[in-house]
Chains A and B, each alone.
With several copies, the nearest count.
Chain A
Amino acid sequence: MAVMNYAAAAATSLGDAMRRDSAVVALGEDVGRGGIFGQYRGLQEAFGSERVIDTPISEATIMGAAVGMALTGLKPVIELRVIDFALCAMDEIINQAAKNRYMFGGQSHVPAVIRMPIGIWSASAAQHSQSLESWFTHVPGLVVVAPATPQDNYGLLQAALQCGDPVAYFEHKELWALDGEVDPGQPVPLGKAALRRSGDDLTIISWSKAVHWSLDAAEILARDGIEAEVIDLRTLWPWDREAVFASAAKTGRVLVAHEAIQVAGFGAEIAATLAEQTDARVARLGGPRAPVGYAPVLEAETRVTPSRIAAKARELLAR
């Protein structure tokens, strides 16, 4: 048990996995110097440049090569820096990594963890601020993960490396410095949500950085005696229906809050599923369908905030 930040939790987790399993390797730009956010710190020193592999700026080939590595006995961790640049490697992720096993009738497996940090990274504007996790939930073959805490970043990375499937692994660009307790002995299973706060009046479902805003929103609501239950989904595919449905049955009202653009975001999937299968009232709050602007005032317009979540919750309660 130690306090460390979200970036260090990832580096520690990867290091622990590499020590245990010689098949685990990491590759990507600038990983040798620890990654520009410290998320690979110390690893090349510990495991050498053959297992912590600096690469050219060749996203398509980074991902394609990782598929080749995975098919031949390795378990690559692929650094794509931010989801925005992962757009340069979509054929390799979607057509190659995700479909390989099925297409070849189970002759092959692609155990791989594809790190593609999401979210608004303050003042980084339209090409560095996207959250495209819902895209990957739409693609068969992929597991989709989005940790919100250092503990989960440690534990979910372990689980992702062990599961044997290609995992779209979404850290958040603004969580790197978040400190928290990390217990390496505490497993964090894929597909299990975490109850972050209990409440009876409504349920807020969230993941990644939006979990923290949701908790802040719950605080705001609590001042008026409204008790919100906050669920951190953690894994988007497969998502923890059991936890969500149980909470929905309890509160009868479910708000899904996420940073990604609301239109066709994963909130739509959850809300639609609830509408089809339960009597809960549903609402969503995601970003507007607008690129993220550079100036603080513009950026602020595209952010989902605690107060906006709280306002949306009140609206839902009034319905």
Chain B
Amino acid sequence: MMCRIRAFEDAAEEASRGGVAAFGQQAVGQAQVRGPLHLSTGQEAVAAGVCRHLRPNDYLTSTHRGHGHTLAKGADLERMMHELFGKATGFCGGRGGSMHIADFSVGMLGANGVVAAGIPIALGAAQSIKIRRVDAIAVTFFGDGAINRGPFAESLNWAAAFNLPILFVCEDNQWSATTKTGTMSAGQGAAARARSFGIEAEVVDGNDVGAVSETARGMIADIRAGKGPRLLHARTYRFKGHVSVDPAIYRDPKELEAALKSDPLLVTAAQLRAHGVAPTEIDAVLQAARTEVARAVETAGQAPWPAASDAFSQIQDTGAGQWL
């Protein structure tokens, strides 16, 4: 899974050059993936480690940086790439793009263009699970910057007050756009805040997929057993700029250099080698992922655009057809 995410992000990045105007860059128009593209390169272990314990009927909400979460939840890679290309064959029929990637058929209730906005949505899904007496849980991913928005605190309180089956996952890549999150976040972070609401929380190395998986497994088991909400704080790093066109000149290159040494793919490869897996086998996995992604890029390029009339469908039923 981590290799598939990495391969996906690399290909999306490649296809997005010149795709958006920000950070002093101009949109050039002919990019295949347009608009703000937030890559999760380097953060793959969090998505993979958590989502391997989820079932298709568990619910997930995500952030603006949601490709990895969506893939890990079981969404089809090809249809995702098609959505990034804005094609009719994408998950949202080209209406959403990267920031609104979603696959409701596997319980992935959507990325979100608004920081922290996915958190209460997952909370509501968890309450719905309880009300409908379904055997499932809800999971919500959010960034380290998102914990400073009110809805995070409101949702922690609510989840604990109602003892809801929800796992909060803070995917801490140390940055909030161009701001070092640490300078703007007081206290000991997401886990400490969760504990102040009586929610059990743990901090893990988010570059070690084994560690993430092991902790998530225990927490998810507790949640399924009705023990209430849990919070997992996973420390990782954002290898790329905030969006794909951002050169991230505001950060010390040494910081990135150091972080690249804990690349979760390298960490896992080392662990696998230690377990006797042959390097060629490991390479083959990444190679296979790249081949799969290359095929997705190819079919995405050829796939049809949405019809212009799609701009006016799936908005609302009441009053449909009346757009002025």
The residues of A with any CB-CB pair to B shorter than 8 Å are 25, 29-30, 32-33, 36-38, 50-51, 53-61, 63-74, 76, 84-85, 88, 91-92, 95-96, 100-108, 121-128, 140-143, 163-167, 174, 176-177, 190-191, 237-238, 262-263, 288-291, 293-298, 300-302
A-B contact pairs, 21 of them (CB 8 A): A54-B184, A57-B116, A65-B120, A68-B121, A68-B122, A88-B114, A104-B102, A105-B90, A121-B35, A122-B21, A127-B113, A127-B114, A163-B317, A165-B316, A237-B319, A262-B324, A290-B312, A294-B86, A296-B86, A296-B305, A297-B306
A residues in contact with B315, CB < 8 Å: 101-102, 140-141, 289-291
A residues in contact with B87, CB < 8 Å: 295
Asked whether B141 is an interface residue with its Cβ less than 8 Å from the other chain, the reply is no
- Contact of A74 with B131 in the complex, beta carbons under 8 Å: yes
Task: Give A294 to B130 CA distance when docked, in angstroms.
Answer: 35
- Contact of B323 with A290 in the complex, beta carbons under 8 Å: yes
Interface of A is mostly: loop
Considering only CB atoms and an 8 Å cut-off, how many residues of chain B contact the other chain? 90
A56-B158, A191-B319, A295-B306 known; 11 other A-B pairs, CB under 8 Å? A54-B179, A59-B149, A60-B120, A68-B61, A69-B131, A101-B314, A104-B100, A123-B27, A190-B319, A290-B312, A298-B310
Task: Give A106 to B91 CA distance when docked, in angstroms.
Answer: 9
User: Which of A56, A73, A108, A125 is the most central at the interface, judged by chain B CB atoms within 10 Å of its CB?
Assistant: A56
- Contact of B149 with A58 in the complex, beta carbons under 8 Å: yes
Q: What per-residue 1/0 map shows which CB atoms of B122-142 lie under 8 Å from chain A?
A: 111111111110000010000
- Contact of A68 with B93 in the complex, beta carbons under 8 Å: no
Interface of B is mostly: loop
Given contacts A58-B154, A61-B120, A101-B314, contact A123 B19 (CB under 8 A): yes
Asked whether B322 is an interface residue with its Cβ less than 8 Å from the other chain, the reply is yes
Task: Give A296 to B12 CA distance when docked, in angstroms.
Answer: 17
Asked whether B68 is an interface residue with its Cβ less than 8 Å from the other chain, the reply is no
- Contact of A288 with B312 in the complex, beta carbons under 8 Å: yes
Residue among B183, B242, B318 making CB contact with A191, cutoff 8 Å? B318
Residue among B100, B123, B132 making CB contact with A61, cutoff 8 Å? B123
Residue among B92, B117, B319 making CB contact with A64, cutoff 8 Å? B117
- Contact of A56 with B154 in the complex, beta carbons under 8 Å: yes
Residue among B23, B109, B113, B123 making CB contact with A95, cutoff 8 Å? B113
B residues in contact with A128, CB < 8 Å: 36, 99, 113
